[in-house]
Amino acid sequence: MRLKLVPSETSINFLRLRMPALGLSGALVAASIALFAIIGLNLGIDFRGGILLEARNTEGPADIGGLRSDLGQLGLGDINLQGFGTETDVLVRVQRQDGDEAAQIAAIEAITATLGKGYEIRRTEFVGPTVGAELAEKGILAVVCALLAIMVYIWFRFEWQFSIAAIMALAHDVLSTIGLFALTGFEFNLATVAAILTIAGYSINDTVVVFDRVRENLRRYKSYEQPAILNMSLNETLSRTVMTSVTTLLALLAIVLFGGAVLRDFALAMMWGVLIGTYSSVFVAVGMLAFFDLKRHLDEDDDPGAVKDEG
C-alpha cells in the first residue's frame, strides 16, 4: 500500500482563495521590507569584518559561560560565543579591531591566551571591511543575476506572462526570507546567501512543474474556462508538490536537530524557504497567472497530440 499525503482525486478551488492569498503575500513582503529597514540584518563576519576562532577543549566540555565572562574583560568590543558540533567545541566571533593587521593579530593572541592551554585552536579567520563590503556586493549581485536568469529562462520556455508570474513569486520568497532573518536576528552570512539561492532554485522547480501542467491543459482543453484549467493543473500536481516538500523538510529537520549551530541558521532558512516556496508556487505564481489572458491555440505541427475538448 502506497503512502498518499494527498488523495488522488482532489478538486480544491485554489483560485477562490487567490485574492486573500495575494493580500497576505503583499502584507508579508511589506512587513519584510519594513523589518529590514527598521531592524536590519545581523550581518556575520563575512560581511562586516572581524575575527573568528574555532577552538576545542581537550580536557572536557567547553565552559561557554565562563569563557564569555573572561573574554569580555579583554575590552575587544562585541564578542559572541556559541557551542557547535560536540560539547567540547566553541566558536568565538569578535568584532574587527581598530588599527591595522597587527591589531587583529594582537586580539587573536589575547583570546588564545585567555582560552588557555586546554583549548586547541583549530581555525582562525579574519575578514577585513573591504573584503566584507566586496562579499556583500557580490552576494547581492549573485541573487539579482539568478532571479533575472530564471526570468529569462521561463520567458523562453513558456511565455512572458509565465515569466512575470514566476519572478513575482521568487521575489516574494527572497524578500520574506530576508524579513525572517531581520525578525529573528539569525546571523546573515555567505551561507545564508547560498540558502536564498537554493530557495529560489527549489521554488522555481516547483513552479515550473505547475506551469508545465497549465500549458499542457491549455492546449488540451480548449473549451474550458481559464480559471478551471488553472485549478485543474494545481490539483493534478498537488500530490507531487506536497510529497516533495515533506521529504525535503524531513531532511532539513535532521540538519536542525543534529547538524549543530553552524548549520542551524542555514537549515532554518531552507525550511522556511521550502514552506514559503510551496505556498508561492500555488497561490502567488498561479494567482498572478490568472490575471493574464494566456495563449491557447497552437499550430498542429507544434502540438499534434492536442485535442479541442475532452470534457
Question: For the whole model, what pTM was predicted?
Answer: 0.72
Q: Do domains 14-42+132-289 and 50-127 have the same CATH topology?
A: no
Q: How far apart are CA 64 and CA 263, in angstroms?
A: 19
Angstrom distances, CA of residue 9 to CA of 161, 228, 232, 239: 28, 15, 10, 10
Whether 211 shows a pLDDT value over 60: the answer reads yes
Q: How far apart are CA 183 and CA 33, in angstroms?
A: 11
Pair 41, 178: CB distance under 8 Å: yes
Provide the pLDDT confidence category of residue 33 given band limits of 50, 70 and 90.
very high
pLDDT computed for residue 281 by the predictor: 84
Tell me the three state secondary structure of residue 134. helix
- Better-scored residue on pLDDT, 129 or 57: 57
pLDDT computed for residue 146 by the predictor: 81
Can you tell me the mean pLDDT for 227-247? 83
Provide the pLDDT confidence category of residue 31 given band limits of 50, 70 and 90.
very high
Short-list 305, 311, 126, CA closest to 221: 311
Percent of the chain with pLDDT over 90: 2
Helix (H) or strand (E) holding 34: helix 18-38
- Better-scored residue on pLDDT, 309 or 169: 169
Whether 132 shows a pLDDT value over 90: the answer reads no
Whether 302 shows a pLDDT value over 60: the answer reads no
Range of lowest pLDDT (55-64, 181-190, 236-245) = 55-64
- Indicate the residue type of 197: L
Range of lowest pLDDT (31-45, 64-78, 127-141, 142-156) = 127-141
Can you tell me the mean pLDDT for 282-287? 84
pLDDT tens by residue, 63-107? 777 777 777 777 777 777 777 767 778 877 777 777 677 777 887
Range of lowest pLDDT (97-106, 139-148, 158-167, 200-209) = 97-106
What is the length of the chain? 311
Domain ranges across the chain: 14-42+132-289, 50-127
- Better-scored residue on pLDDT, 311 or 246: 246
What is the CATH number assigned to the segment(s) 14-42+132-289?
A: 1.20.1640.10
pLDDT computed for residue 79 by the predictor: 74
Secondary-structure class of domain 50-127 per CATH: alpha beta
Can you tell me the mean pLDDT for 171-176? 88
Mean of per-residue pLDDT scores for the chain: 78
* DSSP assigned state of 297: -
